[in-house]
Structure 1
Amino acid sequence: MRAQNTGQSFTHRCRVYYEDTDAGGVVYYVNYLKFMERARTERLRALGFVQSQLAGENLLFVVHSVEARYRAPARLDDEMLVSAEVVELNRASLRFHQQVRRAGDDALLCEGHVTVACVRADSFKPRAIPEALRAAFSGAGPIPAGE
């Protein structure tokens, strides 16, 4: 099932710290994946779901695959805007399109697609995404517990 483009853009603001940079003073390439992870986590939180609570319900999201393209460097103290848009919603997985942009000039620094799988926390076997999460990610909004 393709996710509906409901205009639900989500952007997470973050800043480049010294620990994020390499010897050349630019963001080390793998750290863009960390920024993207944070944006996906904050997107989930904005929809009313917290990963620690989901784990207590025997549900985890694990990264299945990543593809990334690096366009321009970010540097120490840059403020970045990291988007997390669901572009595909399947029975047990989500595919995100993500971009990392510099807030000051809107320069595209990195973009990619990340596929996350929904698994059981106790066995890491695939499981269906619960209906409340499906509804939230598809744009219908969260469904209150018990419905």
Structure 2
Amino acid sequence: MSHRFPIRIFYEDTDMAGIVYYANYLRYIERARSDIVEQFGLDQREMRAQGIVFVVTRVEADYLGTAGFGDRLEVRTTHFAKGATRWIFHQDVCREDKVIFRALVTAVCMTTDGKPTRLPAKLRSLPKDAAG
């Protein structure tokens, strides 16, 4: 499954060198993942009220280029289910079709008391990784 999410770089996103502060890329990919959850028709506030949350358990990131004030970026995400509880995301942040940031993110569906639980029914139809 693939998803695209636009990002516009504001002055507040940059550091003293005028480039996007490195930690902001994590914010951008989080926004894209939140948009994906919403597109599946899931309300994370409602899920939390029912005692279910998504927790990021792993991020592997590569910084491959830079962006600056005024740039328009796009987060391109492919995602799949892995097992009954994990949701895996391959995320690229691109500027004019050039990948400037790449991440592999693992999120786990958990109860609010910290126990893994099955992905919501709307996500169980996601393609499965071959390693399943």
TM-score by length of 1: 0.81
- Choose which of 102, 113, 124 in structure 2 pairs with 1:134: 124
**What are the equivalent positions in structure 2 for 1:118-129 lying under 5 Å apart?**
118-121=109-112, 123-129=113-119
How many residues align structurally?
128
SS in 2 for 1:84: strand
Aligned residue in 2 for 1:144: none
Unaligned runs of 5+ in 1: 1-7, 140-147
How many angstroms does 1:45 deviate by?
Answer: 0.8
CA contact (8 A) 2:80 2:127 kept: no
How many angstroms does 1:128 deviate by?
Answer: 1.3
- Choose which of 38, 41, 45 in structure 2 pairs with 1:48: 41
Matched, 1:111 2:102: yes
How many angstroms does 1:89 deviate by?
Answer: 2.3
TM-score by length of 2: 0.89
Unaligned runs of 5+ in 2: none
- Across the aligned residues of Structure 1 and Structure 2, the Cα RMSD in angstroms comes to 1.5
Aligned residue in 1 for 2:86: 93
How many angstroms does 1:99 deviate by?
Answer: 0.4
Identity %: 34
Aligned residue in 2 for 1:142: none
**Structure number with higher strand proportion:** 2
CA contact (8 A) 2:40 2:122 kept: no
4+ long deviations beyond 2 Å: 130-133
| 1:75-121, Cα deviation, whole Å (9 max, x unpaired) | 0111111022114422111111000001xx21211011000011112
